Homo-oligomer: A and B are copies of this chain.
Amino acid sequence: MKYSSISEAAAVYGIPESTIRYYEKKGLLPLIERDQAGRRLFSERQLALLGAVICLKNTHMPISKIKQYMEWIVEGDSTLERRLEMMQRHRQAVHDEISLMTQYLSGIEEKIERYTKQIQEIKNGEEVRSR
């Protein structure tokens, strides 16, 4: 099996090494192996789990919940229902956030239209006055 160092894992996801260490300390990355020198070894599986952490973090799940989720993964099949329920709730939360952002987006687009028109009007006015 191929293992990656922390610098390689960091490069894969484009995040600083310090963030990975921070996540491990917070309990978001259980089961990371070490070599004889104490350096972290990331298996493919560990890399995938780190990807899951990053996905949840980027969709605004708080660290405390991500931690709970990762603990359930380690616990095994007995937590499948709980994980399913958590992901269903999270899907809803992400969906709601996307809807809200989309609404705000159209507010922003209205502003852009207004500004564009106002600027055009001012330009037209200047054109007329300069004749």
Contact = CB atoms under 8 A, between A and B. Distances in A.
A14 B81 CA distance: 35
Interface class of chain A by DSSP: helix
Nearest to A95: B105
A62 to B, nearest CB: 15
Contacts of A109: 91
Interface residues of A, number: 32
Contacts of A77: 118, 122
Interface stretch (A18-26, A32-40, A82-90): A82-90
18 contacts: A52-B111, A55-B104, A55-B108, A77-B122, A80-B119, A83-B111, A84-B116, A84-B119, A87-B108, A87-B115, A90-B108, A91-B105, A91-B112, A94-B104, A94-B108, A98-B98, A98-B101, A101-B101
Interface string A48-91: 00001001001100000000000000000100110110011011
Interface of A: 52, 55, 58-59, 77, 80-81, 83-84, 87-88, 90-91, 94-95, 97-98, 100-102, 104-105, 107-109, 111-112, 115-116, 118-119, 122
Contacts of A107: 55
A58 B101 CA distance: 8
